[in-house]
Amino acid sequence: MRRMLPNVLQPNETDHVPVLVEEVRELLALTPGETFVDATFGAGGHSSMLAADLRGKGKVIAIDRDPSVRDYFERFRRRTGVQARFLRGDFSIVLEQLAANGVRADAILLDLGVSSMQLDRPERGFSYAVDAPLDMRMDPSSDVSARTLVNEDGERELEQIFRRYGEERFARQIARAIVRRRRERPFERTGDLVETIKAAIPAPARFGDGHPAKRVFQALRIAVNDELAALGDALPAALEMLRPGGRLAVISFHSLEDRIVKTFFREQARGCVCPPDFPVCVCGHEPTLRILTSRPLRPALQEVAANPRAASAKLRAAQKV
Task: Please state the closest distance from residue 228 (CB atom) to ligand SAM, in A.
Answer: 10
288, amino acid identity:
T
Rounded CA-CA distance 259/167 in Å is 15
What residue is closest to ligand SAM based on CB?
A: 42
Does residue 40 belong to the site contacting ligand SAM (CB under 6 A)? yes
Binding to ligand SAM, residues 201-240 (CB under 6 A)? 230
Q: Is the dihedral of CA 34, 39, 43, 46 positive or negative?
A: negative
Binding to ligand SAM, residues 123-182 (CB under 6 A)? 138
Rounded CA-CA distance 308/312 in Å is 9
Does residue 90 belong to the site contacting ligand SAM (CB under 6 A)? yes
| Closer by beta carbon to ligand SAM, 45 or else 299 | 45
Rounded CA-CA distance 69/73 in Å is 6
How many residues of this chain bind ligand SAM (CB under 6 A)?
22
DSSP 8-state symbol, 12: P
Does residue 254 belong to the site contacting ligand SAM (CB under 6 A)? no
151, amino acid identity:
N
Picking from 108, 90, 93, the residue whose alpha carbon sits closest to that of residue 224 is 90
State the burial class of residue 195 (Cβ atoms within 10 Å of its Cβ: 0-12, 13-18, 19+): middle
| Stretch near ligand SAM under the rule CB under 6 A, chosen from 113-121, 146-154, 175-183, 311-319 | 113-121
Main-chain dihedrals φ then ψ at residue 122, nearest 5 degrees: -55, -35
Does residue 23 belong to the site contacting ligand SAM (CB under 6 A)? no
Contact 311, 28 (CB under 8 A): no
| Closer by beta carbon to ligand SAM, 30 or else 175 | 30
Picking from 224, 216, 194, the residue whose alpha carbon sits closest to that of residue 118 is 224
Does residue 76 belong to the site contacting ligand SAM (CB under 6 A)? no
Task: Please state the closest distance from residue 290 (CB atom) to ligand SAM, in A.
Answer: 24
Element (H, E) at 297: none
| Closer by beta carbon to ligand SAM, 69 or else 175 | 69
Rounded CA-CA distance 142/217 in Å is 18
Task: Please state the closest distance from residue 267 (CB atom) to ligand SAM, in A.
Answer: 21
| Closer by beta carbon to ligand SAM, 64 or else 168 | 64
Does residue 69 belong to the site contacting ligand SAM (CB under 6 A)? yes
Out of 1, 23, 36, 45, point to the residue binding ligand SAM (CB under 6 A). 45
Does residue 86 belong to the site contacting ligand SAM (CB under 6 A)? no
Interaction site with ligand SAM (CB under 6 A): 16, 18, 40, 42-46, 63-66, 69, 90-92, 111, 113-115, 138, 230
